[in-house]
Amino acid sequence: MNTRPVITVQLGEWPEFAALATPIRFRVFVDEQKVPADMELDEFDAVSCHALALIGDEPVGTGRLLPDGHIGRMAVLADWRGHGVGAVLLQALIDEAERRGMPRLVLSAQTHALGFYARFGFVPEGDVYEEAGLPHQAMVRRR
C-alpha cells in the first residue's frame, strides 16, 4: 500500500510566498543548521521563481530557481523529510527551468545532500568548500 502523503507544489514569486516560505527557511537553516539569520533572505529572492510544497494546508517545504539557473534554499521541515516532498519540489523547479529553456542548472549542495541531488542528474563539479559554516559541493545538471 502506498502511504505517501498527497503533496501539492505551487510555483510563484516572492511577494506571494514570502509569508509561508520564510518560516520554513528559518526553522530549517537558522534554527536547525545554525546558518546566520542575516544570510537567510537575500536580494535573489525578489528575482527568483519560488516553489512551495503543501501537505493539506500546511506549507512543508520550499526552494527557489534563480534567473541564471541556480537552484537553492531547498528546505523541507524535519518532520516531513523522507516522504517525497524534496523530490516534488526539486522536480517542479527542474521542470520550470526546462520550460524556460535553461540549458544548465547549478546548485551549491550541502555535502550530506549530494545523493539526493544525484538522483535528479546533478553531478559534482570541483572541490568541497565552506559556505555559511557548512561543507558544500557545486553540482551541475545539463539537459
Ligand X SMILES: CC(C)(COP(=O)(O)OP(=O)(O)OC[C@H]1O[C@@H](n2cnc3c(N)ncnc32)[C@H](O)[C@@H]1OP(=O)(O)O)[C@@H](O)C(=O)NCCC(=O)NCCS
> Which stretches of the chain bind ligand X, using CB under 6 A?
28, 74-76, 81-87, 109-110, 112-113, 115-116, 119
Nearest approach in angstroms of CB 86 to ligand X is 2
What residue number has its CB nearest to ligand X? 86
Provide the minimum distance between the beta carbon of 98 and ligand X in the complex, in angstroms, as a whole number.
Answer: 19
Rounded CA separation 10/52 (Å): 5
For residues 15 and 78, which CB has a smaller minimum distance to ligand X in the complex? 78
Closest approach, Cβ 136 to ligand X, in A, equals: 7
Whether 54 and 17 have beta carbons less than 8 Å apart is answered as no
Alpha helices in the chain (DSSP H): 14-25, 85-99, 114-118
- Of 133, 128, 116, which is closest to residue 141 (Cα–Cα)? 116
Shorter beta-carbon distance to ligand X: residue 54 or 87? 87
Q: Which is nearer to ligand X, 101 or 115 (CB)?
A: 115
Q: Which is nearer to ligand X, 14 or 136 (CB)?
A: 136
Please check whether residue 7 is in contact with residue 53, taking contact to mean a CB–CB distance below 8 angstroms.
yes
Query: What does the radius of gyration of the chain's CA atoms come to, in whole angstroms?
Result: 14
Q: How far is the CB of 29 from ligand X (least distance, A)?
A: 7
